[in-house]
Structure 1
Amino acid sequence: MSNYQSNEIKLINTSLIDPHPDNPRKNIGDVTDLAASIKTNGLLTPLSVVPNGERYMVIAGHRRLAACKQAGTGAVPCFILQLDPLQQLEAMVTENCQREQLTVLEEVDAIQGMLDLGATTANVAYRLGRSADYVRDRAKAASIGNEVRAVRDDFSQLTIGQLVAIARYDGRPDLQKRLAQAAGTSNFDYTLSRIERDDRDRQWIESVAALLVESDNGINLIPDPEEPYSDPEWRYAGCMFPSTGTPEEIIEKIREQNPAAVSIHMEQVYLWTRRDKTADAEKEARRAAEQAERDARRHALEEYAAASADKRMAWLHANLHGIKRDKLIETTARLGLLQIIDPDPQGYTLALSTWNDAACGGEQFTTISGIEPERALAELRYHLDEPDWAVWAVQILAARIEWFIDPTDWTTVNDTSRRIPGYYQILQDLGYTPTDDETSHLDQLIAAITEADSDENEEDEENNQ
């Protein structure tokens, strides 16, 4: 305010003074205490106002004006300033920023208002005592439309970093809404990284497509077959995706492999050869027989997995409440560690990201606890604050593991299957007795994990030689 200060002080009736319509601070808050103080001691600091016809508008002192009106104060001392619209907004923004009275979103809109009135980025930065990057970031965030801002009631509480990330996708409100909904949660960074990855993939495929349509590249670009694995003319011969290389490298690799044709399928480039229909018929017959055998095995495995899960959860439901508290506390820690600490170097990120899904393990928790689904969450929250919290903690942690286990995890070495032996060991320590069928499947899984680890160790040794 110092550059816009005036020595002219005048007593003006509060009935002639209006709040400034462009005041950056949209919510002046409760002024009851301030009104009581003014009623007792009077207004100690003059308002700063600008003429507005026969009335005046506040530049500095919106809260004091509201408090004076609430206190029934008549005339109040005011500095009379002569400012154009840009100077008025600069003065209000400067005052509020110096007192840290604006939310980030209010500051964002105020700075954009200054720029709209003709101020330069450098001038705004100078007036606020901030860097040019500080001003540019807020100008970017100001582009976020009301449709996106309305996604959540507390949108004004988002950080400038979150607002800039949302503003980056200007013109794509669907993505902006996803980010706005995730802001302030543990999912924000994950959501942003997925959107950034998808955006990079989209840009990559657009660049590849632009190179493929060039007439002199010698590559036969065809429409993507509707049924890529059973097209009567083309046989699928592989694909290339963003991690394969840059768009220019992809074109060179396609020339090296010299496929009969290529097509664009989502964010991938499919390679095609011509079909040999006689050989294809024989292969198709073999494939059908193999698929039938796989389907039969999968059906049997699904039946086993479902029966095994039912047996485990029925045992947990029937026995957990009879186990001693110290054993349950130990089990809580072991189940938690089993889910958090990963025996696989690749990590458990994809699995952990689903924990924000409200349905994650809900059905299994209902089965184990015996509580109706509509009451389960309320009961859980209540009991976790009670002395019997341990049995409820075991139930929810076991339910999460049960939720993750799919039939294929019994035959494939992956993040989840590596946890199954440890989960069974915990259950057995609680008193659970696996059937002979479970023990057989468990032995086969452990053997597969051991073999996979051995192969990985041998590969590491060869790479280190």
Structure 2
Amino acid sequence: MGITIEDLPVEDLHPNPNNPRRQVGDVADLEASIRSQGIKQPLLVTPTGETDIDGHAQYRVVIGHRRLAAAKQAGLESVPAIIERMDARREREVMLVENSQRSDLTPIEEADGYQGLLDLGVGVKEMAEKTGRSDRFVRRRLRIARIPQETRDMSADFSQLSLDQLDKLAEFESDPDMQRELARSTDFEWTYRRLVSERDKTKWCGEADKALAKAGVRVESFPDGKNYWTFEPRGYRRRTVISSTRDPFWKQFTGEDGCRNSASSRTTATTACTSRFHSTSSNGLRARKPNVRPSWHGGEELDRKARDFEAIARDTRFAWIRTNLHTLTREQTVAGICELALAETVGWHSMFVGQRLHGEGVVEALIGFGWNLPITEHDGDHWSLECKENLDQIRMVLRDRPLRILDVLAARQEDNADWRAWRTMRGVDEMCVWYGALEHLGYQPSAEEREALKGAMVEKEQKS
């Protein structure tokens, strides 16, 4: 493989169509440097095997696209270049390794670079070794590279999506419709949380259908015009509701005592797409659900809407808090503490706050925010996460870094946030306090959240 350095005419040098970096960007400063000092570092090029009409050999640029663009703008007729004969595989490897060291290479450009090498038969391990990356890093980029062009075209500016957003898009590889919906969304995070909820609910229902079939329970669709709240088959009565998809269906279906329904005990269960199961019979088969207050007449659909909404809103808030809580300025932190301290001590009505405080929930929220606490799961010695080890750790952190009290105040607010709050004006008032503090910290509520804060899920009678 011969290597030579020559001054080559710029008209004989051509951008590489497989260059991972699609845009050379602004080269004005580089142009000024070249005008005053010339090109100090040669370009790396490879022969294309073609000639122009005058018989001059033509070359593809491998390294130095920005220098070539700046040289053309500066009016140079020739540039120094290292000529190296390369096969397609070597060419792509060199470009990817060189560009991957640059901070301005976008995640999707890098991902497509890895995909190009994969198409040429380079394995994941070899790519990782040549670029100095881990196998996991390469596989992550390859997963992003598989996002179809059709999906990319639906985004307003696909090239500017962050690595985290691209990873989230890649999650929906097996569901192109959801992937395209996320790509064209104007509120990426909210849409992502909603689609994840829908995907998990669909998976949960599938597992529920299998569990019911195994138990010998016949699953039927609701008759036209009927839903869970209005349909009770003759000879059956409603026992309980399963409405949460956070726990496995079978765990809820059998109840805490662990009873099982044998295949010989024939029962009918009716299901809707909302994941609510009508499971009733005289043989004692039951599902489990925490007790809830009765709904106002006609408000069951708003109950369901509020539950689904709060599940997504909570995930969205948690994601924002986890990312931004420890990057706030001192001014923002102090402002947040003042807002929450006011809510905690004075309240929002003509009375002091009478808050439902469960220490376990506060500890769980802190863990969700990213706190490293000694005990994160229940065991024989720790029936509650509100234990001495965790409390001592929290106290130690707060003594060393007093402003971390904002974490605890935020955890208390999240512990008290509940879907029922969106169903009453008093609850909405309370959520307005929490969201007001979040906005002081920089959180931007989605359009759906703003509607909920106006009382969109409150009964009309309540509003009046």
Query: Is this a same-fold pair by TM over 0.5?
Result: yes
Question: Among 259, 270, 279, which residue is 1:271 paired with?
Answer: 279
Q: Which residue of 1 aligns with 2:261?
A: 255
CA RMSD of aligned residues (A): 4.1
**Among 420, 445, 451, the residue aligned to 1:356:** 445
In 1, Cα distance between the equivalents of 2:278 and 2:163? 41
1:434-445 equivalent positions in 2, closer than 5 A: none
- Aligned partner letter, 2:417: Y
CA contact (8 A) 1:208 1:248 kept: no
Partners in 2 of 1:65 and 1:355 — Cα distance? 43
Structure 2 Cα separation of the partners of residues 407 and 74 of structure 1: 76
The structure carrying a bigger helix percent of its residues is 1
Q: How far apart, CA to CA, are the structure 1 residues paired with 2:174 and 2:42? A: 45
Matched pairs, number: 313
Change (3 A) 1:191 1:20: same
- Alignment match of 1:50 (pick from 46, 55, 60): 46
Distance (Å, rounded) in 2 between the aligned partners of 1:197 and 1:137? 23
> Aligned residue for 2:355?
343
Cα shift readout 1:105-163 (whole Å, capped 9, x = no counterpart): 11111111111111111111111111111111111111222333234433323332321
SS class of match (1:144):
coil
Instruction: Select which of 201, 204, 223 maps to 1:225.
Output: 223
Q: Secondary structure at the match of 1:134?
A: helix
Amino acid at match of 1:39: R
**Aligned counterparts of 1:348 and 1:244: Cα–Cα separation in 2:** 19
Q: Does 1:97 align with 2:85?
A: no
- Higher alpha-carbon deviation: 173-182 or 110-119: 173-182
| Cα drift, residue 34 of structure 1 | 2.1
Shift of 1:356: 2.5
1:157 match: 160
CA contact (8 A) 1:261 1:272 kept: yes
Deviation at 1:167, TM superposition (A): 0.2
Matched residues in 2 for 1:153 and 1:344: separation? 44
The one of the two structures with greater contact order (alpha-carbon pairs below 8 A, sep at least 6) is 2
> Does 2:69 match 1:63?
no
* CA 1:147–1:347: 2 relative to 1, 3 Å: farther
What secondary structure sits across from 2:117 in the alignment? Answer: helix
SS in 1 for 2:217: coil
5 Å matches for 1:30-179?
30-52=26-48, 53-54=50-51, 55-177=58-180, 179=182
Q: Distance in 1 between matches of 2:297 and 2:109?
A: 61
Q: Which letter does structure 2 place at the counterpart of 1:219?
A: V
Q: Distance in 2 between matches of 1:358 and 1:208?
A: 33
- AA matched with 2:144: A
Instruction: Please say which of residues 123-132 and 242-251 is displaced more in the overlay.
Output: 242-251
**Unpaired runs of at least 5, structure 2:** 52-57, 283-294, 299-337, 358-414, 420-430
| Deviation at residue 249 of structure 1 after TM alignment | 7.2
**Residue 209 of structure 2 is aligned to residue 201 of structure 1:** no
Q: Distance in 1 between matches of 2:455 and 2:47?
A: 71
Could you tell me how far 1:401 is from its partner in structure 2?
6.5
Change beyond 3 A, Cα 1:250–1:272: closer
Change (3 A) 1:59 1:112: same
Secondary structure (helix, strand or coil) at the match of 2:66 reads helix
Q: Flag the 1:236–1:144 CA change in 2: closer, same or farther, 3 A.
A: farther
Whole-Å separation in 1 of the counterparts to 2:221 and 2:166: 40
Using a 3 Å threshold, how does the CA distance of structure 1 residues 141 and 342 change in structure 2: closer, same or farther?
farther
Q: How far apart are 1:40 and its partner, in Å?
A: 3.2
- 8 Å contact kept, 1:234–1:272: no
State the shift of 1:206 in Å: 1.1
Distance in 2 between residues matched to 1:403 and 1:218, nearest whole Å: 41
Aligned partners of 1:71, 1:223: CA distance in 2, in Å? 73
Where do 1:207-246 residues align within 5 Å?
207-213=207-213, 217-226=215-224, 227-228=226-227, 229-230=230-231, 233=234, 235-237=236-238, 238-241=240-243, 242=245, 245-246=248-249
User: Residue type of the partner of 1:206?
Assistant: G
Shift of 1:37: 2.7
Question: What's the CA shift string for 1:411-460, capped at 9, x where partnerless?
Answer: xxxxxxxxxxxxxxxxxxxxxxxxxxx9xxxxxxxxxxxxxxxxxxxxxx
- Kindly provide the CA deviation profile for residues 42-73 of structure 1, in whole angstroms up to 9, marking residues without a partner as x: 22211100000221000000011111222221
CA distance in 1, matches of 2:342, 2:453: 10
Note if contact 1:51-1:82 (Cα within 8 Å) is conserved in structure 2: yes
Q: Percent identity?
A: 28
Where 1:356 maps in the other structure, the secondary structure is: coil
Task: For 1:13, give the aligned amino acid.
Answer: P
Query: Which residue identity does 1:270 align to in structure 2?
Result: H
Cα displacement (A) at 1:81: 1.0
Cα distance in 1 between the residues matched to 2:448 and 2:216: 51
TM-score by length of 1: 0.57
Return the offset for 1:100: 2.6
Shift in CA distance, 403/361, structure 1 to aligned 2, threshold 3 Å: farther
Structure 1 CA distance for aligned equivalents of residues 355 and 115 of structure 2: 51
Alignment of 1:397-416 (within 5 A): none
Q: Report the secondary structure of 1:150's partner residue.
A: helix
User: Please, what TM-score do these two structures have when normalized by structure 2?
Assistant: 0.57
Which residue identity does 2:37 align to in structure 1? N
Alpha-carbon distance in 2 for matches of 1:219, 1:360: 39
Q: Secondary structure at the match of 1:49?
A: strand
